Amino acid sequence: MSSQQLKIIGHRGFPSDYPENSLTGILAAIEAGVHGIEIDIQASRDGVPIVMHDDTLERVTGIRGKLSEYDYEVLRMFSAHEPSRFEQKFLPEPILTLESLAEKMVAYPTIQLFVEIKPDVFKLHDREIFVARVWQLLEGLSNPIVIISYDEEVLKIARREFFCTIGWVLSRYNNAAKLSAEALNPEYIICNYKKFPKNTEVLWHGDWQWFAYDIVDIDLAKELFNRGVQYIETWNADKLIKELAECEKLVNK
């Protein structure tokens, strides 16, 4: 196993050390040497794609309420510095929009972007309109872009309307999910490693690549690689990348 075979992806940037889904954390993960970044997309009340995992604000801003209750002109005054974890260390950290991130990613064209559109968005916004809005912000980038979601309809729209590379996030690893995966045939299947069978069997074969999260241990990463996982998503990119480099040194001695 080498860094050419196993791809390390920053899960929401570099959240072991920085606020998740923040520009500061994303740039730190890139500096650490990740192959790609996974981000989450929610929406403001007026439909602006926002880089945030939760549909509520309190955990990352300390402010109560739902993201979708505010237009972006209000949200831009809040700080996403995760006060419950980091207190005031990263204050202020602007809530990141997909548009702002896309502008920054122009400088990092080799970094793969896994853009997860959260199902919460569609409580308020139309799928086709919102997916189009997301793709409009991304289509000019040279970066390899993957639209990912738990929502199969979102993925079908992304592929049908915009010819996007897609990744399906599994809710369960079972026979029903396997049949759905074969019908959808995404380029990536994304899964929490804890949902895999508690044995060492190789994961489903298909035209897709396997992407597992959230891993911070190199031994677990190696085990998953041997089961067919090519992409490892981690909260601590620096640690895993350094451990992978040490493994390569031992192999090459």
> Could you tell me the pLDDT band of residue 247, with boundaries at 50, 70 and 90?
confident
pLDDT in the model for residue 78: 97
Tens digit of each residue's pLDDT (9 = 90 or more) over 223-235: 999 999 999 999 9
Mean per-residue pLDDT over the chain, rounded? 95
pLDDT tens column, 49-70: 999 999 999 999 999 999 999 9
pLDDT tens digits, residue range 106-156?
999 999 999 999 999 999 999 999 999 999 999 999 999 999 999 999 999
| Structure confidence at residue 5 as a pLDDT band (50, 70, 90) | confident
74-101 pLDDT, tens digit each: 999 999 999 999 999 999 999 999 999 9
According to CATH, the topology of domain 7-53+100-252 is: TIM Barrel (3.20.20)
pTM greater than 0.75? yes
194 pLDDT more than 80? yes
Q: Of 204, 205, 203, 134, give the one whose Cα is nearest residue 166.
A: 134
The percent of residues above 90 in pLDDT, for the chain, comes to: 93
The span from the CA of 214 to the CA of 168, in Å, is: 16
DSSP 69: G
Q: Where are the domains of the chain?
A: 7-53+100-252
CA–CA gap between residue 242 and residue 72 (Å, rounded): 38
DSSP assigned state of 253:
-
Beta-strand pair 49-51/36-43: antiparallel
Among the residues of 12-167, which ranges form H helices? Answer: 23-32, 58-61, 72-75, 83-86, 98-105, 127-138, 152-162
pLDDT value at position 199?
84
β-pair partners for 210 = 189, 229
Half-sphere exposure of 76 (CA within 13 A, CB side): 10
- What pLDDT shows up at residue 252? 58
Looking at the predicted structure, is the pLDDT value of residue 250 above 80? no
